[in-house]
Amino acid sequence: MLRKIDNVMIGVNDLTEALNFYSDVFGLKPIWQDQNRGQAGLLFPASDSKIILYTDTEMPGRVEINYLVDDVEAAVQKYVDQGCAVLAEPFDTLVGRGAVIQDPFGVRLSIQDLSKAAVEVNPL
């Protein structure tokens, strides 16, 4: 079951510039940065949902919504059994596991779980 929108990933060219912009202009709170992965996380002030800025040009799309599930492998199996297609088999992420599925209507959904213990990143 999709539990909530966990984060929205946004591809940017300059991580520091984008981090400052999203913080200053949109009022999001920077919570971590990982220069090695070219990512930074910002928190919405009224929820625990996040925007993750990233610089990896290999990632599909410019904006990607990640839905939180309890267990990626179980969710993928359930959704496939109900008519979804797998676009990206389960893979490791910074905080757990992820996968990309497509519903019967052609809509792409990125799902992730939080199965890894707390990850060390540079808090801001």
CB–CB of 29/45 below 8 Å? yes
Place of tokens 């993928």: 76
Task: Assign 20 to helix, strand or coil.
Answer: helix
Helix (H, G, I), strand (E, B) or coil at 44: coil
Domains and CATH numbers, the chain: 1-68 (3.10.180.10), 71-116 (3.10.180.10)
The helix or strand, by DSSP H or E, that contains position 79, with its residue range, turns out to be: helix 72-81
Q: How does pLDDT run along the chain (124 residues), one tens digit per residue?
A: 899 999 999 999 999 999 999 999 899 999 999 989 999 999 999 999 999 999 988 877 788 888 999 999 999 999 999 999 999 999 998 889 999 999 988 888 999 999 986 655 566 6
Distance, CA of 7 to CA of 26 (rounded, Å): 16
Q: Give 38's DSSP letter.
A: T
